[in-house]
Amino acid sequence: MTETQETEETRDGSPSRRALIGWGGAGLALGAAVAGGGMAMARAGDDIDPASAQAGGAVPFHGAHQAGIATPVQDRLHFAAFDVKTDDRDAFVRLLKDWTDAARRMTAGKTVGEGAYGGLAEAPPDDTGEALGLKPSRLTLTIGFGPSLFDRFGLHDRRPAALVDLPAFPGDNLDRARTGGDLCIQACADDPQVAVHAIRNLARIGFGKVAIRWSQLGFGKTSSTTPDAQTPRNLFGFKDGTRNIAGTEGDRLKKFVWAADGDGPDWMTGGSYLVARRIRMNVETWDRTSLQEQEDVFGRDKREGAAVGKAKEHDEPFLKAMKPDSHVRLAHPDSNDGATILRRGYSFTDGTDGLGRLDAGLFFLAYQRDVRKGFIPLQRRLSAHDALNEYIQHVGSAVFAVPPGVRDSGDWWGRSLFQKEA
């Protein structure tokens, strides 16, 4: 430790920004000093402490898998896709390490670096400050790498075969400004300001190396990974995600969500694959549709969420009792050779479209072990036959490889991808 570092420490004992200027641009390397600063020792891959499921608690950052996938779903989302702006591999790796350090702190309810005040008056603070005084709010930060990243930094041979470019589906009307991305960050929290603060600070740290390509705010989770929680409703008023994989279902997670040894490159073992789709809902048309037709479209009743001919939401559906083009019948694993995905979507409203119609819908997030066996065959079937297509349109799309979790204070996002070249 230098003389400057000995005399200029922060309030929690980590190196001061006076000693290491510029979290956001100079490659501040806090390493184990930050990671050791009172972090929770539980791991993200372990069973979640019930206390952390309460609003305000902290979700462990370290684990075999990234938090924010099987974690109990939080109330709010800020999702951002980034374009990489640097061709300097070392600078990009340094960014991933800095992002990891910042994520460790923010998910524990701490400020980034030295904080929002108390540093050099002549320099911008390390933290933007809008989350000061707020609890961690179960913040999780999950990173993914898009197909286009593998055209950079000599990574072409390390692209997983499962990270395919999504095909064009019937009915797609994709906005290029809301499609793709070299990498993504999914921030979920019970307080929207905590989620927005996290994305804002990661974008600030990445200035000059990455830039936000597009982003999406979400509210009203539309699926649950907690079995005893009430199934959420989407903006059409129907329960969504009744048969979703629960975070406690280790066998189903292993079978359908986590990439295993032999599935692809070793660096993805313990990771997953994410499909993000921005789905516009034509709510005005839907609101003028009869209740009977609405229920026929979904194949469930609107009050209870029970399948056609059943009394309770979780009663096993009899698919042949539903109309052939009903959403539940077409999406059910039994109609898709067992294909199963873990959904983690959110509703959104982004003002109006200039014609007096709400720009509202579902920001669909789906995790799976292999996109070729999960989302793609499922969406091909739905896009061709689903009665719901009359009321929705897919307008944004992206796919990402989500690496395994950060295991300890010496690990960092993407290390398994870059380590052989480091």
DSSP class of residue 179 equals B
Sign, Cα dihedral of 335, 341, 347, 353: negative
Which amino acid, residue 385?
Answer: H
- For 11-65, what is each residue's pLDDT tens digit? 344 444 433 334 444 333 333 333 333 333 344 544 444 444 455 899 999 999 9
| pLDDT exceeds 70 at position 71 | yes
Q: How confident is the model at residue 241 (pLDDT cuts 50, 70, 90)?
A: confident
- E strands within 54-134? 76-84
The angle subtended at Cα 81 by Cα 411 and Cα 185, nearest 5°, is: 35
Check residue 51 and give its pLDDT.
44
As a whole number, the mean pLDDT across the chain is 88
Check residue 81 and give its pLDDT.
98
Nearest by Cα to 369 from 396, 404, 394: 404
* Mean pLDDT lowest among 54-58, 95-99, 344-348: 54-58
Q: 328-338: buried (b, 16+ CB within 10 Å) or exposed (e) per residue?
A: bbbbbeeebee
Instruction: Report the run of H or E that residue 55 belongs to, with start and end.
Output: none
Q: What does the CA dihedral 203, 208, 214, 215 come to, rounded to 10 degrees? A: 0
What average pLDDT does this structure show over 69-77? 97
Domains of the chain, by residue range, sit at 49-422
CA distance 169 to 386: 13
The angle subtended at Cα 112 by Cα 150 and Cα 275, nearest 5°, is: 35
- For 250-297, what is each residue's pLDDT tens digit? 999 999 999 999 999 999 999 999 999 999 999 999 999 999 999 999
Check residue 297 and give its pLDDT.
98
